[in-house]
Amino acid sequence: MASVPASGHAPGSGAGQAAIEAAALRSDRFRLEREGDWARLEEIVSRMEKGRLSRLSDADLLELPVLYRTVASSLSVARETSLDAATLAYLEALVQRAWFLVYGPRTTLWSWAARFFGGEWSRAVRAIAPEMLVALLLMVAGTVVGWLLCVQDPDWYYSFVPGELAGERVPGATREVLLKGLFGNTGDSGLSVFAAFLFSHNSGVAILCFALGFAYGVPPLMLLVQNTTMLGAILWLYSGVDLTWEIAGWLAIHGTTELFAILLSGAAGLHIGRSMAFPGDRSILDAAAAAGQRAAVVMAGVILMLLIAGLLEGFGRQLIDTTGTRMAVGGGMLLFWLVYFFLFRRVPAGSEAE
């Protein structure tokens, strides 16, 4: 039976201690060879984080990306060679801080908003103008189809407008009943539910039109037609009792903004689908990525338009109780969007001119 050495250590413990000492020596040597770059990067990063940009020289700014890559390389080596945990934690924190300064966003929320509303959104909308024309034609076609199908068979109305939400607004209703639902009903919960349904339904369609654009633009085509058949059915119902002008005003006060948002979202989805179907000299992925970036800018604005439409629907239509004023507000909003998108040609700093 083997005896235990006098030192009291098991056999081989001396070799293990030597390995630990060698690892520590290797870690110390690794740090000594590179810590000058680490300290230099940390100095620049700390100044920038504290907003002391005026104290940075041109040499500091030129060194920043080089030092970042150097320290990132040091981190990679440290991980591969299993250096001590303290060194790894220090390098990971330093690389993360430097990454935000090298590759992170360089603008504040205010500057982003100024750039977005100052021309980026309107330029993105004009870039999908061909798809907007197609979407507009589809929406008009859907409205006409909804109207004509109801003329042919009034039962189609229930297919387009759910009965539980239509309430008294159904085929056969008298002019007085339909007129009562359009004016003087600030506290009418039924009308509020119906209006809320229209808004939530249209908002859902807008999001789906964009989200399903990757399927070569086919779902947006169908959604645009399907959604506007409801509009056609409602217009048919009220026109049958000579209330076309009144229902147009009731819808216009928020509808010009809401339907414009649907138009833009459908066009954005079609733009992605068209780019994938006809990528040109680029790969499908490259074409879809470029179209997706442009369409995403459009959709960021669509969300704002839907919020504005919700405010107009929730407050404007309840507070304004005359058709002429409703039409004026709706027409004014439509004019505003047209002017902003197609006549506002300012190019933000750093953007390419059209």
Instruction: Kindly list the domain boundaries of the chain, sorted by start residue.
Output: 15-102, 111-342
- Let me know: does 143 contact 228? Beta carbons within 8 Å: yes
- Let me know: does 169 contact 194? Beta carbons within 8 Å: yes
Query: Residue 67: is its pLDDT beyond 60?
Result: yes
- Let me know: does 183 contact 238? Beta carbons within 8 Å: no
Helix ranges (H only) for 116-217 are 121-127, 129-152, 156-160, 163-166, 175-180, 189-211
Output the average pLDDT for the chain: 80
pTM of the model: 0.66
User: By three-state DSSP, how is residue 271 classified?
Assistant: helix
Express each pLDDT in 98-134 by its tens digit: 887 777 655 666 777 888 888 889 999 999 999 999 9
Angle, CA of 194, 199 and 201, to the nearest 5°: 90
Closest CA to 294 of 139, 129, 179, 141: 129
- Let me know: does 231 contact 143? Beta carbons within 8 Å: yes
Helix ranges (H only) for 216-279 are 218-239, 244-277
> How far apart, in whole angstroms, are the C-alpha atoms of residue 75 and residue 88?
7
Angle, CA of 178, 184 and 189, to the nearest 5°: 80
Express each pLDDT in 221-271 by its tens digit: 888 888 899 899 999 999 999 999 999 998 999 889 999 999 999 999 899
> How far apart, in whole angstroms, are the C-alpha atoms of residue 104 and residue 126?
29
Q: Which residue has 């001119």 as its token pair?
A: 353
